[in-house]
Chain A
Amino acid sequence: MGLIERGKLPKPLSHLLGLSRSYSLWVYQWGLACCAIEMGACFGSPRYDVMRLGVIPFPVSPRQADLVVVSGTVTDKLAPALRRLYEQMPEPKYVISMGSCANSGGPYWDSYSVTKGVDQIIPVDVYVPGCPPRPEALLEGIVMLQQRIRDEDMAERWKGDPIVVG
């Protein structure tokens, strides 16, 4: 796989690889607060049914996950655990920051114990705004991330800007 990282894979192959990767995303649910319920509605309810998009929401450990959805308030006490979770995930890994709290602190912008933005701790690919965002918003965030993964040039990874839904 060294060729991929150096960006020297033939174009058809890298296209096929991107396509396959985008439709077999294993999501680790890092459910923290209110957003976790909307994430649960998105991943676990028959109304939204995320599995039709090729997203598998039930890895038991971050070591098996490609994508983590940080949904909810990250406090300073929890931040080290979040960093450790991110480091346990295998590359290439993606992060969706769901909800105002994870994006920027949200309604707790002046609280003494809340981390104002999860992007201070781990790099974020997709920001989904809302307090809490509707499940549809999270679905759109996932679809946009899949688009990015499909067209991704592994050599160029992290040079682009994050996606903001809406």
Chain B
Amino acid sequence: MSMLTEHQQRAYIGGQAAEARVNLELETDGMTLNIGPQHPATHGTLRIITRLDGEQVISAEPVMGYMHRGYEKLTEVRTYPQINTLINRIDWLSSFANEVPFILAAERLMEIEAPPRAQWIRTIFFELSRIANITLFLGEMGVQLGAITAVFYAFRDREHVLNQIEAATGGRFHPNYDRIGGLKEDLPKGWVAETKSVMAKVRDFCDEMETLVGTNEIFETRTRGIGVIPVEVALGYGLSGANIRASGLDWDLRRDSDTPLAWKEVDWKVWTHPDGDSFARYWVRLQETREATLIVDQLLDGLPAGPIMAKVPRIIKVPPGEAWVATENPLGEMGYYLVSKGDLGPFRVKIRTPSFNNISIVPWVLKGVYVPDVITILASLYFILGDIDR
């Protein structure tokens, strides 16, 4: 060092310092943040292991299976009426919607069809369970972003719908109302008029949510442009339901599949949004809830008279064969692939649940977002843990 001039020395020290500074900037150490498996705002357990660089997520890996109850194996040792009770609990917020595709698959194999009145009532309850499900989402999305008020409103107005379901079926949200060939029993007296007034209340709730949450400036800033999923990526990951409609794809199994349910008899609209961000997903679900109330109103007006049960043998044995029936559940496409060998129970049931595919996009969509947005995106994708793990 003594051979260097003062100027050279300064340059050397400065260079060292600059190099050190550069190195300091380069040496960022990633941090692993574990989200879950339990969070007081959720109903279910999902764990996400995120690798963070500062505030940004480098990678995210969902760990599933905390709610795995072995449905597909359990269906092999149950009879058909027993399975009906069991599958109520896959997606617990819209239990009736879980029953319908399974019953339809069994009916298709048995070559019986429920009478029109039963089909219409099935459709009404399908939409009621959609409302019961999505009202909770509308509130919960607020909670995840820090607006706790929204969920109290959601629980208040959800009770009205649950009351109607309970009045007809006896269960608050595990109705177990569907039977192979029809329904358990007919609607009680005065149910139709009461349900109509409840639908008006739900529409008021939707308006309230739109003004309270949907048009809130903080809410919009935190959701617009966050977690954008282009439609090609969404299709690649097998997203369905409101998640894919929010990416701009006009695809709804209620309209596009040939189930014998009564959606084709009434006038309604499939809502889409071109943006594909978290706000779009919230907005599409809000519109769908309102649309569902209109569907229920029309179905109640045109409810045909007649029996609610087709002729079905006392002991149900489904003839050998295979059937696949999928319907548009509140969360997306839900389907059952039923393989029967002619016994009291099925030989094998493959259950396609929407949340499982919707959650599989999480590693892709969380890459590069900031930590607070992780919660926004997860809330807007809207999954139910029982529906993921089965």
Tell yes or no: A104 within 8 A of B by CB.
no
* Contact with B40, one of A58, A72, A77 (Cβ below 8 angstroms): A58
Q: A37 touching B43 by the CB < 8 A rule? A: yes
**CB < 8 Å: which of B37, B44, B65, B152 contacts A33?**
B44
**Cα-based distance from A78 to B173 in the complex (angstroms):** 25
Residues A60 and B40 in contact in the complex (CB < 8 Å), given A33-B386, A112-B70: yes
0/1 string, B137-157, CB within 8 A of A gives 1: 000000000000001100110
Known contacts A33-B43, A36-B44; is-contact A44 B151 (Cβ 8 Å): yes
Collect the chain B residues with CB atoms within 8 Å of residue A45's CB. Answer: 152, 155-156, 158-159
| Residue A103 lies at the interface, judged by CB distance under 8 Å to chain B | no
- State the total of A-B contacts with C-beta under 8 angstroms: 98
Residue A23 interfacial (CB < 8 Å)? no
- The one of B38, B73, B155 in contact with A81, judged by C-beta atoms closer than 8 angstroms, is B38
B10-18, B84-92, B188-196 - interface stretch: B84-92
Q: How many residues of B contact A (CB 8 A)?
A: 33
Contact at B66–A77, with CB atoms within 8 Å? yes
Contacts of A111 in B (CB 8 A): 69-70, 73-74
Residues of A within 8 Å of B65, CB to CB, are 75, 77
Residue of B nearest to A61 (CB): B40
Q: Using an 8 Å CB-CB cutoff, how does the interface string of A21-40 with B read, 1 for contact, 0 for none?
A: 00000001111111011101
Q: Does A73 contact B (CB under 8 A)?
A: yes
Q: Is the CB of B38 within 8 A of A40?
A: no
Question: Are B85's CB and A37's CB within 8 A?
Answer: no
What is the 8 Å Cβ interface bit string for chain A, positions 1-13, against chain B (1 contact, 0 not)? 0000000000000
B68 at interface, CB cutoff 8 A: yes
- Cα-based distance from A58 to B173 in the complex (angstroms): 25
B40 touches A46 (CB 8 A): no
Complex Cα–Cα for A60 and B92 (A): 25
From B163, which residue of chain A is reached at the shortest CB distance?
A: A47
Bound: A99/B218 CA distance, A:
38
Measured in the bound complex, the distance between the Cα atoms of B171 and A134 in whole Å is 10
Contact of B89 with A46 in the complex, beta carbons under 8 Å: no
Interface 0/1 of A44-63, CB less than 8 Å to B: 11110000000000101000
Contact A32 B86 (CB under 8 A): no
- Which A positions have Cβ atoms within 8 angstroms of B? 28-34, 36-38, 40-41, 44-47, 58, 60, 72-73, 75, 77-78, 81, 85, 107-108, 110-114, 131-132, 134
Q: A32-B67, A37-B43, A46-B155 are in contact. List 15 more A-B contacts (CB 8 A).
A: A33-B89, A33-B386, A45-B152, A45-B158, A46-B156, A58-B40, A72-B43, A73-B69, A77-B66, A81-B37, A81-B38, A110-B77, A112-B73, A113-B70, A132-B172
Could you list some 10 contacts between A and B, CB below 8 A? A31-B42, A36-B44, A38-B172, A40-B155, A41-B159, A45-B158, A78-B37, A108-B69, A113-B68, A113-B70
